[in-house]
């Protein structure tokens, strides 16, 4: 396996090679072999930086993404729905933790990443700056948001950075369950009263375009895609994944007996690809600039939650210090 030893060590042991040159050659070989880079391997600074950026943005998305659904736990229509929603939100916290851990293996402590988020200097997915106004939105989030997440993240299970790829495997398994429960909420509403069916349709109408924007800007505006693909971090471009997702949901929505709010969706037999109507990229840029419907509220709640959790962090640190002291004595 290409990743078992580092050429840096060989160079340090006196074989006369420049460590940076040996490291770059070793890294290039791993990428060419489509193998895995592990935390102690040499890697270019820009590769490390890209991974920290993408993984931390992803982690922040999971943490901020707890809010729209967390807001509905107390309003779930039954005990069963409440228990399922609580478990889903808890899973998302777990995903955030796996991802922060993966980012830490690249040398950036979680506290630093968290400070960047709290200071408003870090990105998280645009989708979580939209409101969840009805119970049907819990269905649309599960079906469309988790669905888009899976479509984007399954290829990331083959990302070249080992800890990230391994975290993605577990995240994707849990997201699949989330997507099914969301679909099931919509199915039940779609087969309910006319008002319930309308609520489900409105939730899809509201969540459709923001879910498509989760895949990032069009390829022509995607600053990082080509380099990330050359490094085997991303396996497909933003537009490739987006059109693949449209194809999936265009079929699934028929089972719901509902529609997607886009008359231009069609399968192009010549290209073998799904096509869809123009998205409002101006709106996307506004959300990224912090001017989406819920940006301010999401950040305010996150800061509040962080402050309210100070006592837990202090207690955990005191407990860990006491245990370390005991171990030293023993």
Rounded to whole angstroms, the Cα distance separating 16 from 12 reads 8
Other Cβ atoms closer than 10 A to 156 = 21
- CA angle in degrees (0–180, nearest 5) for 60-64-67: 165
Q: Is 58 in the site for ligand BYC (CB under 6 A)?
A: yes
| Binds ligand BYC by CB under 6 A, chosen from 1, 79, 195, 223 | 223
Single out the residue of 118, 115, 119, 102 nearest to residue 52, CA to CA. 102
In this chain, which stretch among 146-154, 195-203, 243-251, 257-265 interacts with ligand BYC, using CB under 6 A? 146-154
Q: Residue 134, by phi and psi: left (phi above 0), alpha (psi -120 to 50) or beta?
A: beta
Question: Looking at beta carbons, which residue is closest to ligand BYC?
Answer: 65
Per-residue x/- mask for ligand BYC, residues 15 to 54, rule CB under 6 A? --------------------------------------xx
In the complex with ligand BYC, which residue's Cβ is closer, 201 or 238?
Answer: 238
Nearer to ligand BYC, 11 or 117 (CB): 117
Which of 43, 185, 204, 214 touches ligand BYC (CB under 6 A)? 214
Helix, coil or strand: residue 275 = strand
Residue 211 contacts residue 144 (beta carbons within 8 Å): yes
Among 7, 41, 67, 92, binds ligand BYC (CB under 6 A): 92
Answer for which of 288, 293, 301, 306 binds ligand BYC (CB under 6 A) is: 288
Instruction: Tell me the closest approach of the beta carbon of residue 221 to ligand BYC, in angstroms.
Output: 7
- For residue 190, the minimal CB distance to ligand BYC (Å) is 21
CA dist list (Å): 231 to 103, 119, 154: 17, 30, 17
Q: How many residues bind ligand BYC (CB under 6 A)?
A: 29
Scanning 131-139, 211-219, 250-258, 292-300 for contacts with ligand BYC by CB under 6 A, the matching segment is 211-219
Contacting range for ligand BYC; rule: CB under 6 A; set: 192-200, 215-223, 255-263, 311-319: 215-223
Q: Give 260's DSSP letter.
A: -
Q: Which one among 152, 160, 181, 232 touches ligand BYC, defined by CB under 6 A?
A: 152
Contact 69, 102 (CB under 8 A): no
Q: Which is nearer to ligand BYC, 7 or 139 (CB)?
A: 139
State the nearest-atom distance from the C-beta of 148 to ligand BYC, in Å. Answer: 7
Contact between 101 and ligand BYC per CB under 6 A: no
- Given candidates 114, 160, 179, 228, which one binds ligand BYC under the rule CB under 6 A? 228
Kindly identify the residues of this chain, within the stretch 156-185, that bind ligand BYC according to CB under 6 A: none
267 in helix, strand or coil? strand
Q: Quick check: helix, strand or coil at residue 118? A: helix
Cα dihedral sign for 52, 58, 62, 67?
positive
DSSP code string of 284-326: HHHHHTT-STTHHHHHHHHHHHHHHTHHHHHHHHHHHHHHHHH
Tokens encoding 302: 């996150």
Least distance to ligand BYC, CB of residue 149, Å: 3
Interaction of residue 62 with ligand BYC, rule CB under 6 A? yes
Span interacting with ligand BYC, options 7-15, 187-195, 208-216, 274-282, rule CB under 6 A: 208-216
Distance of alpha carbon 61 from alpha carbon 9, whole angstroms: 37
User: Exposed, middle or buried: residue 203 (CB in 10 Å: 0-12, 13-18, 19+)?
Assistant: buried
Contact of 213 with 126, CB cutoff 8 Å: yes
Give contact residues for ligand BYC (rule: CB under 6 A): 53-54, 57-58, 61-62, 65, 92, 123, 125-126, 145-146, 149, 152-153, 213-217, 222-225, 228, 234, 238, 288
């Amino acid at each position: 396996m290409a990743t078992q030893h580092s050429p840096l060590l060989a160079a340090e042991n006196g074989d006369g090679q420049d460590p940076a040159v040996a490291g770059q050659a070793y890294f290039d070989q791993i990428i060419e072999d489509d193998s895995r880079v592990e935390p102690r391997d040499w890697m270019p600074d820009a590769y490390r930086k890209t991974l920290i950026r993408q993984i931390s943005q992803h982690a922040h998305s999971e943490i901020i993404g707890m809010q729209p659904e967390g807001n509905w736990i107390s309003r779930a229509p039954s005990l069963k729905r409440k228990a399922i929603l609580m478990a889903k939100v808890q899973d998302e916290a777990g995903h955030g933790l796996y991802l922060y851990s993966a980012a830490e293996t690249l040398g950036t402590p979680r506290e630093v990443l968290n400070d960047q988020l709290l200071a408003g200097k870090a990105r998280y997915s645009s989708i979580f700056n939209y409101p969840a106004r009805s119970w049907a939105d819990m269905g649309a989030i599960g079906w469309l948001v988790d669905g888009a997440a899976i479509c984007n993240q399954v290829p990331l299970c083959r990302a070249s950075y080992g800890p990230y790829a391994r975290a993605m495997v577990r995240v994707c398994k849990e997201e699949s369950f989330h997507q099914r429960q969301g679909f099931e909420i919509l199915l039940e509403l779609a087969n309910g009263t006319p008002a319930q069916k309308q609520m489900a349709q409105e939730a899809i109408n509201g969540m459709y375009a923001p879910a498509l924007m989760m895949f990032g800007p069009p390829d022509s505006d995607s600053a990082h895609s080509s380099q990330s693909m050359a490094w085997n971090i991303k396996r497909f471009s933003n537009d490739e994944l987006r059109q693949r997702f449209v194809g999936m949901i265009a079929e699934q929505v028929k089972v719901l007996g509902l529609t997607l709010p886009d008359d231009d969706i069609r399968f192009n037999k010549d290209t073998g690809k799904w096509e869809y109507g123009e998205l409002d990229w101006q709106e996307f840029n506004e959300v990224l600039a912090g001017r989406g419907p819920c940006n301010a509220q999401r950040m305010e709640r996150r800061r509040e939650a962080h402050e309210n959790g100070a006592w837990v962090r202090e207690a955990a640190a005191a407990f860990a210090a006491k245990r370390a002291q005991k171990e030293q004595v023993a």
